[in-house]
Structures are given as C-alpha cells and as structure tokens.
Amino acid sequence: MLGPVGASADGQLVPITRAQRRAVLAFLLLNANRTVTVTELIDALWEAGPPATARTQVFAAVSAVRRALRTAGAEPVTSVHGGYRLDAGPGELDLLAFDEAVTGAREHAGRGDLDAAVHLLRDGLALWTGPALGGVSGAWVEPARVALDDRRLTALEQVFAWELDRGGHDAVLAELTVAAAAAPLRERLAGCLMLALYRSGRQAEALAVYRRTHRLLVDEIGVEPGPELTALHQGVLGNDESLRAPGTVRPAAPQRRFLPRDIPDFTGRDAELDRLDELTADADLLVLGAVGVGGIGKTALAVHWAHRAAHRFPDGQLYLNLRGYEERAPLRPAEALSTLLGALGVAPQRVPSDVDSASALLRDTLAGQRVLLLLDNARSAEQVRPLLPGSSPALVLVTSRDALGGLIARDGARRLEVDLLPYADALDLITRILGADRVAAEPEAAADLVAVCGRLPLALRIAAAHLTVRPGDGIAGYVARTRLDSLAIDGDPASNLWAVFDQSYRSLTAAEQRALRLLGTAPGADLAVPAAAALTGHDAGAAEAILRALADASLLVEHRAGRFTMHDLTREYAAGRADAAERAAALQRLAAWLVGTVESAVAVLHPGYVQAPGSGAPHGFDDPGAAREWFAAELGNIIAVIEAGTALGCPDAVWRLAFACRFHFNGRLDGPTALSLGRAAVEAADRTGDVRAQAAAALVMARAYTTDAHDDRCRAHARRCLELAGDSGWHDIEADAHNTLSVHHMFAGDLRLAADHARLAFDHSMACGVVPPQFLGKVGLIMLLMGRLAEAADCFEQTLAHQPPGFGRAVTLLNLAETRRLQGRDGEAGGHLDEAVGHLTAEGNTHLVALVRADQAVLVHRQGRHQEAWRMLEDSRTALAGRIDMLNGWQLTQRHAELLIASGRAAEAVERLRPAIEQVSAMVGLQQPATQLLVVLAGAYLGDDPRQAAEVAAEAVESARKGQFLLLEGQALTILAQALRRLGRDAEAREAAEEALGVHEQTGHQPGRDGTAALLGELDGQTGRPRTARTP
C-alpha cells in the first residue's frame, strides 16, 4: 500500500491488473483486520449513483481477487456476515509494518536510545516506494492517500528531530532541505531545517526559511505560524545560545564595522531582500551586483541588507563609495585599494604604488576571512575588478547604474535588478515620513504624489521632505506644482533628481545622449528597435546597439525581448534636454515609419479594403500572423501617436493612422477611446485642409459611433464622408461609408435601410473592382436579423469560401453559428464558435473571445454540462469586467439570463433583465437588442407569472413587428401562446400559436417550430380541432 497497490507471494507478483479489482484489494488492505460491508465497497467504487448491478460487480471483483491470491498460495480474504475481512500481520502488510516501526522507535527514544530509534524508524520509512495507494482511483482514495502521507511526514519529522538531538545537523541538512521543499507548509519540517542551518553557521538562510514559510502559510491557508516555529524564529534572530549544538561556540564579534548608518524608515523591498538572502546562500558566490537607475534605492537596499547580514561576516564589513556617478571624478582603483587596505589595518607605507601589486596585497589580506565588502556607486566592471578578493568566504556587494556585464561574464557575478517600489510600499514610505494623519486627510492627493514621483524612492523622499518642512501645505497643492526640476533639496546635490540624471547623462557617448533625448520625446509606452531606428535616423543595427547601451546604463529597461521602456521621470529629463528642431525632425521620421508600417500590416490583414490616398505597397510582413503580432505589440503606441500627433506637429500621420486602423480597432477599444481617436482624426484632418483627409476622418467618427451604439451622429458623419468623397472624387471610400450605415441601421432596427446600404456598399465595391468578402457577410447578417435563416446561412457559407483567417472570418463564423443554433443545429453551431475563438485568440481580441465564451456556455448547458457552462459564463464576465458597454453588455446579460432560466432560477433572470432593458431602451438605435431582451424576459416570467409573461410577450411581438424582426416575432408569439394556455385562454392561445408556427416555418427556426407544434398538439388533444398554421 505504501506505493503502487499490489500483492506478492514468495517474491512473485500476484496479477491483479483490472482497475476495479485493484480498488477492491486496496480498500480491503486499508481496512485490514476488520469487516468491510458490501455497502461500504459499493460506496467506495461508485461515488455517484451506483448501477443496478453494483452488488453483482462487487461480488465478482472480490471473487477474482480471492482467486488470484489463492492461486498464489494465500487466502487472507474471508467472507463474513454482510461483507468481507482481510486478515494480515505486520510481516504481511507494509502499512502494519510501518506502524510497528513507528511504535518501536518511540519506545527506544523513551528509553534514551536515539541511535536505535533513528535506525528503526528509517527502516519503517524505507517501506514507502512512492505515493500511497498508487494506481488506484476513486473518491475515497485521495483522502486516504493524504492521511497516509501525513503519517509518513510525521515519522520523517521525528527522524530529523532525533538526528538533530544527536548533533547530526550536518549529516541531515541536504536530506532535510529536500524534504522541506517537498512539503513547504509543514511547520515542524521548516523548524528542523531552520535549526540545522543555524547550527551550520547559516543564520541568514535559516531566517529566510522562516520568511518563506510564514508567507506561504498566510497566502495559501490564511494562518500565522504556530508558537513553536515563532519561538524558534525569535531564537535564531537573537542568536539564542540554547539553540546551538553541544560543543559549539559563538562566533567572534566583527572587528571592522564600516557600514554607513541604516535608514531608520527603510520601507518595503521584501522581495529584493529575500533574493539577496537566496543568492548569498551560495557558498561559492564572490560578487553580487545590485543595479538600477539613479534614485531607485540601490544603496539604501544594499546598506540595509548588509546590516541584517553582518553577523554572517564576523571578520568585518567594509564600505567604499566608488563615486562612479557624482560631481567628483570616479575613484581610481589605486585610491580605492589604498583606502581598503588602510581599513584592514595595512600601514600606508606597506601599500604598493602600482595597482596590480596593491590588488594582490588585498587578496592576500582577505584570504580565508569572512568579510563583506560593499562597493557603492560603481562606474564599471573595470573599476571594481582590482578590488575583488581572491575567493570566498568573502562577499563583494556592488551597486551601480551600469549593468556590470563584465563582472557577470568574467568574474561569475550575479545580478539583482532593483526596480521601482510597488505602489503599496511607495505609499507606505510617504506615510511613514509625513505621518498617517496627514496622508489620511488627503488620500487621493497622496496617491497622486506617488504617481508624480513615479514610485522612485529618491523622488518620494525629496517630495516628502519638502512637505515635512512645510506642514501647512496641502499635498494636493504640492502635487499640482511639482516638476522634475523641483524635486531637489537645496544645498544637497545627492538629493537633486535632475543632478542624479545629469550624472548618468554625462557618462554617455554623444550618440547615446542624442538617442536618449529623442526617446524622451516619443509618444507611447515603449519602443522596438525599428521604431528607435526611425526616430534616431540610424540603421537597425546601430539603433539596437545604442538601446542596449542605454539599458546597460539603467536609463532604459528591456521589459520584453527587443522592446525598451523608460521611467516617467527619466523620460521627462530626456525630453527636457531635447531642442525643438531635433524633436520635430525625429517625430516626423517616427510618424512616417509608423504610418507606412501600419498601412502595410492592414493591407495584409484586410485585403481589399480601402486605404488612404498615397499609401505605399505593402512591405515587411510575410503573412497575417506576423502583422497581427506586430499590431498587438504596437497598438498602445499607435493610439498614443493618434492622440498626441497633432500637438506634436504630425497631423497627417494622425488621420492616416486612425483611418488605417478603423477595422483593427473593432472589439479592441472601448467606446470612449474609439470616440476620442475619431475626434483626434477629425481635428488633424481639419488642420491639413485636405478634403480626402476630412472624408477619412468622418468615416472614422462614424465607425466610432457605430461601435458605441450612439444616436444618429453615426449617420451624420457617414453622410459627411459621402459628401466629401464625392467632392474630392474619392469613390473607393463610399463603399465603406455605406457599409458603416448598414451596420448602424441594423442596430437602429431599420432592416430595410440596412439592406439598402449593404447593397450600395456591394455595388460601389463592384464598381471599384474589389469586393471584400465581409460585404456579402453583411447581407447575410441582415437576412439573419430579418429571420430568413436559409438565405443568411447561404451568404455566410459563400463568404467563408473566400475569406482568409482573421477577425473578419471570426465574425462570419459567429453569425453562421447563431444561424445554425436557431435552425436547431447545435453541433454545427458549437464547431463554428470554436473556430471563431481560435481566430480571435490569434488576433489577441480577448474582448470578443469573452463574449463568445458566453455563447458557448449556453450550448454547453444544453448538453447537460451545467457546472462547466457556469464556469464559462463567469470567466466571460470576469474578462469583461470594466469593459462592458451597451453594445455588448446586453448580449452577456441575455446569455446569463438564459442560463438562469434553464437552471430554474427565473426570478434572478428577471432581476438582471429589467434594468438592462431599461438601459437599452433609453439608447437611440438599439431596438433589436431591446426586443431580444423582451423575448427572454417573457420566457423568464412564463413559469411563475404567466399573466406578466403574456403582457411582456405581447410587447415583444409589437416591437418585433415594428422593427421587422420576424425571427423575434415568432419567438415572442410562441411564448405568448404558452402564457395564454397557462391562463386558460385556449382560444387565444391557439390563435397565437398558429400565427407563431407560420412565422417559424417561414424563418426556418426549428426549435421554435418544434415547441409551437407541441403546444398546438396539446390544444388539439383537448379540443379535437386539427392543427393549422397561419402565415403572417
């Protein structure tokens, strides 16, 4: 049992291979030497309802097990009244042998014989050959396996405790480390490991084990460590002599303590401190570098950790500021060596004048000593290398703005990247300096202060210092007037943020300085190498070399492969150093590159759609996948250029980008963002005075209003586009404008106008020689809304035959899936939804994927997979949280309500539908969604309130007829007939049902036809009248 379940006789394995028989054997073994009833065996084998043949199957399985054992010469299983009993002794069952070993070991320990106790208990633990009850499944197995493993771990903890009592901490340390890692929530194992590490002179690692265990206990099960582990932690922290093994002595106190004063209000950095503990636990590590931008808090972190770890370096803790980035010249290696050797007690006259000899003397002086050498503010690896000891146990901790790549490559150094303070820690730092009351009085302003300072510790401290000496000033007022050059303390160059950046800037080459200035002016969050090449005017290779040099100087961060970003304050500094002429020229280059690349990507992703006049031939993308990946990476930067481009002097780029991206923005932007970009395009186009630019911008605005489902402003902008296109002779764009109007009229509920504009879009495209497949799909969508399902399906199928992978194909598949669902062909609908999700996922369109998941949830629920359906719906709701607008919110509400009704929770569905209908009805142009929700609401009332169901269904019928929504009219008529039937108004019910059946037969809505026919069958059976269908 203590491993894979099985049986053997005379060393030969007894063949019991079938899963059910092995499960029966395991259950009998677990309950050895007691009677197991047949009912217990049935419950163990079938966690859900057992089959009718359950008892027969149990009898057969037990018989097979007994037969196999009997063939091998053993008969431990006997039949008793009501069940079976398996008899076994410690020599026959490994679990019993293990229990006997545990009992015997405790008896030896009680007599003081720890050697015998350890030996016997290790023999018992050796019986385990893997996870208990291996190869067996069932609801009872996992709880039993967990309980057995708990017994194993308890025994293992006892072995380690006795080993430590014997003074064997060194012998068990490796084994104990592995065991504690495998069971990180076992406090006793953690305590044993802490004690072993402490007794091995590794106090910091022992404390790190406690911090890790504490964090896991709090995060995973919400409890603090118990009193024993807490007391042990305090003992290790205080070097409690009682914890040491017999015969050990306390290390001598450090003789050379030259660390700077630790900051009393040091805040946060728990992850970095843990990482420093982890890295320095390596006994062979000699050099560790903490790197990051100026003002990030590298020195404060290094000094704080050095104080915490000082006890690990009893022979001294030395500190030296190498002045790598200061007003003064960097400290030369000869000066640094002289200073360090003097601190170590070497007389000045003994210090050699040449660097190599002095470096050798330093290595000789530090040989074999456990010394911490903190080298602060290093300029380069070359400045540090002569100061390194020859080997551990010494440790060198270096702080630098340089990446220290040379030390990593040649000297085996490890690097710790020091990043911005997390928001909570940054706010905590402000609070500790200003006081909790002052921050609590202006919580929003305090949050703004953290944002203005960019979570940079030096900036936060400077700002807090300003506010501390001006107690009457409000935080909000200070934030409003704070700029980079104001973040300085008078008379203290080290507390001047502009000066800190100046020190880094002066260390750069002229080309690197120029690039930094230009990067500071670029809109957007980050830049890839091609964008940087365009901005700087360099080729890609030179641009990448400069970007990496700036990253090595901690002025940029390569946050993703090939993409670089900079801190907000670094950006402000860099932009402040750029002059107007070089900024304007750089932005023009960047904008031209971005426009050309966007138009090329769009040409690959949306072939056949209209591009702006003067667009070049596509280049740079071999396939749609590459174009999609590029768009996903650059989307934020494209939006930034559209929003800021006109103010930056690039209006032509603004409208061209907005126009080119009008399709790619579908489903990726919320309504307000789409409108903001449309207004930016209109402003930019007006600035240019180009009529075709104004036509393009008008179309962008029209599409933005369509997406956000607003009022007739969509029509106004689309008509303006048509007028301007006619004036300028740009006829290609007219198809797009009619296509946009078609979409808008569909949501406005005027399907006749929608069809007219869809046909005009098709005709204009034909006249221009290119017909995008989506235009035929648009006709199909109108047919779907009008209830002409067969024609809609045919349009969608034809569209898919010519449509490449991507967003457009996904939309067509979604429409076809809805058509097939309404035709009662759920299997096909599910397949189309799955394929659509694949295309949308490849496009990175998480917004639409979440909506499709809600559609899939309804189909899954119909298949009886109820829990899975609810999980899918909740995942959809979570993904769309904060991103719901009226255009898609009603769809999610509809699917949620449908699941609630199907689950017998109609009252909850009503509570969700009522406010949604009010919201949708209040919006101009959303008649179809409002009607759709009314139909679902009528169905929700049907079970408990047929009178209300009839009223709502009648309202839905009227709305559907007004909007020409034949499909919804049929659904509403069916519910009306059902409600009237329940109210006993059979004649009216028959009339509504006959009319509904006629509508369903006309649309091809199979589920509606089947349900209505069944209702008429009930009515026919009662009245004896024949069934007829009335055509509306």
What are the distances in angstroms from CA 881 to CA 494, 632, 705, 847, 851? 45, 21, 22, 10, 12
Does residue 376 surpass a pLDDT of 70?
A: yes
Does residue 250 surpass a pLDDT of 70?
A: no
Residue 956 confidence (pLDDT)? 92
Residue 514 confidence (pLDDT)? 93
The string of pLDDT tens digits covering residues 984-1024 is 999 999 999 999 999 988 888 888 899 999 999 888 875 44
Q: In which element (H, E) is residue 85 found?
A: strand 83-86
Number of CB atoms found within 10 A of residue 189's CB: 23
What backbone torsions phi and psi does residue 688 show, to the nearest 5 degrees? -75, -30
Number of CB atoms found within 10 A of residue 73's CB: 10
What are the distances in angstroms from CA 637 to CA 546, 588, 618, 865? 21, 15, 20, 43
Instruction: Give residue 137's pLDDT band: very low, low, confident or very high (50, 70, 90).
Output: confident
Long-range interactions of 246-251: CB distance < 8 A, separation 24+: 246/167, 247/167, 248/199, 251/201, 251/311, 251/314
Edge-to-edge strand ranges of the sheet holding 557-560? 527-528, 563-565, 557-560
Distance CA 85, CA 36 (A): 6
Tokens read off for 686: 């007006």
- Farthest CA pair distance, the chain: 124
Angle at which helices 114-125 and 141-165 cross, to 10°: 150
Question: Which is higher by pLDDT, 920 or 19?
Answer: 19
Instruction: Give residue 464's pLDDT band: very low, low, confident or very high (50, 70, 90).
Output: confident
The string of pLDDT tens digits covering residues 312-357 is 888 888 999 888 887 677 888 988 888 888 888 887 778 888 888 8
Distance CA 679, CA 654 (A): 10
Angle at which helices 298-308 and 270-280 cross, to 10°: 60
232: nearest Cα among 210, 247, 215: 210
Question: Which is higher by pLDDT, 985 or 611?
Answer: 985
Instruction: Give residue 254's pLDDT band: very low, low, confident or very high (50, 70, 90).
Output: very low
Q: Highest mean pLDDT: which of 193-207, 741-755, 909-923?
A: 193-207
Strand 395-400 versus strand 372-378 pairing type: parallel
Residue 489 confidence (pLDDT)? 56
DSSP states along 481-518: H--GGG-B-TT-GGGBHHHHHHHHHHTS-HHHHHHHHH
Angle at which helices 826-843 and 846-862 cross, to 10°: 160
The string of pLDDT tens digits covering residues 146-187 is 888 889 999 999 998 888 888 888 888 888 888 888 888 899
Residue 392 confidence (pLDDT)? 66
Share of the chain above pLDDT 70, in %: 92
List the single range of 373-382, 517-526, 837-846, 874-883 with lowest mean pLDDT.
Answer: 874-883
Count Cα atoms within 13 angstroms, Cβ side, for 677: 35
Does residue 277 surpass a pLDDT of 50?
A: yes
Count Cα atoms within 13 angstroms, Cβ side, for 213: 28
Find where tokens 């010469």 sit: 73
List the single range of 270-279, 553-562, 697-706 with lowest mean pLDDT.
Answer: 553-562
Residue 291 confidence (pLDDT)? 85
If phi > 0 it is left, if psi is from -120 to 50 it is alpha, else beta; for residue 405 that is alpha
Residue 664 confidence (pLDDT)? 67
Q: Do 395 and 372 form a contact (C-beta atoms < 8 A)?
A: yes
Residue 14 confidence (pLDDT)? 83
Sign for the pseudo-dihedral over CA of 987, 990, 991, 992: positive
Residue 957 confidence (pLDDT)? 93
Long-range interactions of 180-187: CB distance < 8 A, separation 24+: 180/209, 183/153, 184/212, 184/213, 184/216, 185/213, 185/216, 185/217, 185/220, 185/221, 186/153, 186/157, 187/213, 187/217, 187/225, 187/226, 187/228, 187/229
Distance CA 500, CA 16 (A): 75
Mean per-residue pLDDT for 27-34?
89
Distance CA 82, CA 85 (A): 10
Tokens read off for 893: 């509400």
The string of pLDDT tens digits covering residues 692-719 is 999 999 999 888 877 444 457 888 999 9
The string of pLDDT tens digits covering residues 814-824 is 999 999 988 88
Helix (H, G, I), strand (E, B) or coil at 137: coil
**What is the residue-averaged pLDDT of the chain?**
84
Distance CA 553, CA 568 (A): 16
Tokens read off for 716: 């106004």
Residue 519 confidence (pLDDT)? 92
